[in-house]
Amino acid sequence: MNVVEIRFSSLDNDDMARGVFATKDFKKGELLHQAPVIPYPNEEHEHIEKTMLSDYAFEYGENHSAFVLGYGMMFNHSYEPNAEYRINFEQHTFDFYAYRDIKKDEQIFINYNGDVDIEDPLWFDQEEE
């Protein structure tokens, strides 16, 4: 049984708005999801930027970006996230952990800036300015 699942999210009016939701209660620090990655060199990102996939790419070290498989690319953003992720370079995964206790059926959020306490504007908010 999956401990997280994809459901429709009420974050905006988009019919395709989806997010990751807990299927059980989680304690702070508990592993939520381990997502494998497909890394690629940063110099190839200019090609990805021509597609909507560019909004789903993660930084993966200094010289690479990555697509995070599994549910990894489906977590929505919050400046007050209830989850965080850590890059596991040995296993080539992004490991998502509960940043605080999470209740069953609660939507799970990460901070797209990487660290939970960074409040820098996101790239898609800067594009709108």
**pLDDT reported for residue 125:** 55
Q: Which of 94, 45, 93 is nearest to 65 (CA)?
A: 45
Q: Which of 4, 57, 60 is nearest to 33 (CA)?
A: 4
Whole-angstrom CA distances from 51 to 4, 47, 48, 86, 110 are: 27, 8, 6, 26, 23
Q: In this structure, is residue 89 part of a structural domain? A: yes
Domain around 79: 4-113
Please count the structural domains in the chain: 1
Q: In this structure, is residue 128 part of a structural domain? A: no
**pLDDT reported for residue 129:** 46
**pLDDT reported for residue 107:** 96
Q: In this structure, is residue 66 part of a structural domain? A: yes
Is residue 97 classed exposed, middle or buried when 0-12, 13-18 and 19+ CB atoms within 10 A define those classes? middle
CATH number of residue 78's parent domain: 2.170.270.10
Q: In this structure, is residue 119 part of a structural domain? A: no
User: Which pLDDT band holds residue 17 (cuts at 50, 70, 90)?
Assistant: confident
pLDDT digits (tens, 9 = 90+) for 77-126: 899 999 999 999 999 999 999 999 999 999 999 998 878 877 776 655 55
Q: In this structure, is residue 129 part of a structural domain? A: no
Q: Phi and psi for 93 in degrees, rounded to 5?
A: -135, 160
Q: In this structure, is residue 121 part of a structural domain? A: no
- What CA–CA distance (Å, rounded) separates 104 from 56? 26
pLDDT digits (tens, 9 = 90+) for 18-72: 999 999 999 999 999 999 999 999 999 999 999 989 888 999 999 999 999 999 9
Q: What is the pTM of this model?
A: 0.87
Q: In this structure, is residue 127 part of a structural domain? A: no
**pLDDT reported for residue 65:** 95
Q: In this structure, is residue 94 part of a structural domain? A: yes
